């Protein structure tokens, strides 16, 4: 099948992150198995008790070679734009394929599968790995499992395998992206009618904690130490959310929640901000929970590996992006860039689509990389 046909098949699986991705992994297991891949299946149960699956395939012996990383989950599609077809009913219109996950990032997987079918005819001189993860959209949980548990991943790290994260970049080479950190602070009180003195307002303990969060917001926005000129925007985007979950104004809030999500660039000491927030929470009597800590990705843009990918892709220079990828959990890889078909601007949109030409170009480029590193 070509890249479009593979992508069409994949988009039909409803793999929003809050449901199991076991069905699509069973399908991909069959596809990779038919292509002669040795398979490693890593299952885990997510925080909501849902079974999730990571599938890692390997074809060929030796060390080095190429590894391709992609995620099978998607964001929700509750506000899908069309009544003529649902988000998991892929449709071609003009030069686009519409469907949830078409761009982010089942189109990339489709391109890779087509590339394998084009190129892997005989024995490989170096191994080809394909790692397909769960839960990228909710904190890189699947990739963390791969990094911690996969024997194939340890082979990649130890063997100096060349890695590609296939997220949409319009097939431009990305050598660095920011990390993603998130935490939640919760203040507890006691609900009661606000006309009495029986309640304890949870917001009262939260207010001084929010003041400290505002100070960090202002400091990291103004201090040059928290700016990185290689990125746009250059700051860490310290984003504060608050909610006391109250629907009535005459009830004392029993719970107040603050969430903070921020994006440190390579070289930023994110842990010192986490400890500052943790200390502030303790001082205010507020519970603190670190939700995720995805590291920045950075590969030397002047390295032989990046120069090689640039030459093969026809790009003049590599670039940086401010969004995160599974690469945040795969930092054991010495050689790793982000490179995939589709435009990140179309990811997560109500009418998500990918250009048909990007699918074909992605397939051709991945085939070129496989031939160069593996055959």
What are the tens digits of pLDDT across the range 316-337?
999 999 999 999 999 999 999 9
The packing angle between helices 107-119 and 356-373, to 10°, is 50
pLDDT for residue 122: 73
Q: Which residue shows structure tokens 């608050």?
A: 242
Q: Is the pLDDT of residue 308 over 80?
A: yes
pLDDT for residue 14: 98
**Residues contacting residue 94 through CB under 8 Å, at least 6 positions apart:** none
Q: How far apart are CA 91 and CA 353, in angstroms?
A: 9
Report pTM: 0.93
Written in H, E and C, the secondary structure of the chain is: CCHHHHHHHHHCCCCECCCCCHHHHHHHHHHHHHCCCEEEEEEEECCCCCEEEEEEEEECCCCCCEEEEEECCECCCCCCCCCCCCCCCCEEECCEEECCCHHHHHHHHHHHHHHHHHHCCCCCCCCEEEEEECCHHHCCHHHHHHHHHCHHHHHHHHHCCEEEECCCCCCCCEEEECCEEEEEEEEECECCECCCCCCECCHHHHHHHHHHHHHHHHHHHHCHHHCCCCCCCCCCCCEEEEECCCCCCCECCCEEEEEEEECCCCCCCHHHHHHHHHHHHHHHCCEEEEEEEECCEECCCCCHHHHHHHHHHCCCCCEEECCCCHHHHCCCCCEEEECCCCCHHHCCCCCCEEEHHHHHHHHHHHHHHHHHHCC
pLDDT for residue 196: 95
Mean pLDDT of 186-196: 96
Q: Are 166 and 330 in contact (CB under 8 A)?
A: no
Q: Is the pLDDT of residue 266 over 90?
A: yes
Q: Are 106 and 11 in contact (CB under 8 A)?
A: yes
Mean pLDDT of 12-38: 97
Q: Is the pLDDT of residue 121 over 80?
A: no
Mean pLDDT of 38-56: 97
Q: How far apart are CA 294 and CA 183, in angstroms?
A: 12
- Which pLDDT tens digit goes with each residue over 131-174? 999 999 999 999 999 999 999 999 999 999 999 999 999 999 99
Mean pLDDT of 30-45: 97
Mean pLDDT of 351-360: 98
Supply the mean pLDDT for the chain. Answer: 97
Q: Is the pLDDT of residue 75 over 90?
A: yes
Rounded to 5°, angle at Cα 23 from 162 and 294: 45
pLDDT for residue 338: 98
Confidence of residue 123 (pLDDT cuts 50, 70, 90): confident
Mean pLDDT of 243-257: 94
Confidence of residue 237 (pLDDT cuts 50, 70, 90): very high
- Tokens linked to 282: 């303790």
Mean pLDDT of 250-262: 97
Kindly state the percentage of the chain with pLDDT values over 70: 100
pLDDT for residue 264: 97
- Tokens linked to 198: 């029986």
Q: Is the pLDDT of residue 282 over 80?
A: yes
- Tokens linked to 346: 């179309």
pLDDT for residue 268: 97
Residue 102, CA distances (Å) to 96, 142, 150, 367 in order:
10, 20, 27, 20
Q: Which domains does the chain have, with CATH numbers?
A: 3-177+296-373 (3.40.630.10), 180-294 (3.30.70.360)
Closest CA to 209 of 258, 245, 243, 255: 258
How many whole angstroms from its chain centre is CA 55? 16
pLDDT for residue 307: 98
């Amino acid at each position: 099948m070509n890249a479009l046909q593979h992508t069409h098949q994949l988009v039909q699986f409803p793999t929003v992150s809050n449901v199991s991705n076991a069905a699509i992994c069973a399908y991909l297991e069959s596809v990779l198995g038919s292509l002669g891949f040795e398979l490693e299946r890593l299952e885990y149960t997510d925080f909501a008790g849902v079974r999730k699956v990571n599938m890692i395939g390997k074809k060929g012996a030796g060390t080095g070679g190429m590894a391709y990383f992609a995620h099978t989950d998607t964001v929700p599609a509750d506000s899908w734009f069309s009544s003529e077809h649902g988000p998991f009913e892929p449709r071609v219109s003009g030069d686009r394929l519409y469907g949830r996950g078409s761009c982010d990032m089942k189109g990339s997987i489709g391109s890779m599968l087509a590339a394998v079918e084009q190129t892997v005819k005989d024995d490989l001189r170096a191994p080809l790995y394909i790692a397909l993860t769960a839960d990228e959209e909710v904190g890189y949980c699947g990739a963390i499992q791969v990094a911690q548990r996969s024997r194939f991943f340890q082979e990649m790290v130890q063997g100096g395998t060349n890695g590609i994260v296939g997220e949409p970049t319009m097939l431009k080479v990305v050598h660095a992206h920011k990390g993603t950190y998130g935490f939640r602070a919760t203040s507890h009180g006691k609900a009661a009618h606000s006309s009495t003195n029986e309640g304890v307002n949870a917001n009262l303990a939260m207010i001084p904690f929010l003041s400290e969060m505002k100070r960090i917001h202002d400091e990291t926005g103004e201090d040059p130490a928290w700016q990185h000129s290689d990125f746009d925007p250059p700051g860490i985007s310290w984003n504060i959310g608050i909610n006391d979950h109250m629907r009535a104004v005459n009830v004392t809030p029993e719970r107040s929640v603050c969430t903070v999500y921020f994006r440190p660039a390579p070289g930023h000491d994110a842990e010192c901000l986490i400890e500052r927030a943790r200390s502030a929470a303790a001082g205010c009597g507020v519970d603190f929970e670190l939700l995720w800590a995805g590291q920045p990705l950075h590969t030397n843009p002047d390295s032989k590996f990046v120069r090689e990918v640039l030459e093969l892709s026809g790009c003049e220079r590599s670039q940086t992006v401010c969004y995160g990828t599974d690469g945040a959990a795969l930092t054991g890889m010495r050689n790793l860039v982000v490179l995939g078909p589709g435009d990140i601007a179309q990811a997560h949109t109500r009418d998500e689509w990918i250009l048909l030409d990007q699918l074909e170009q992605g397939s051709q480029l991945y085939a070129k990389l496989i031939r160069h590193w593996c055959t």
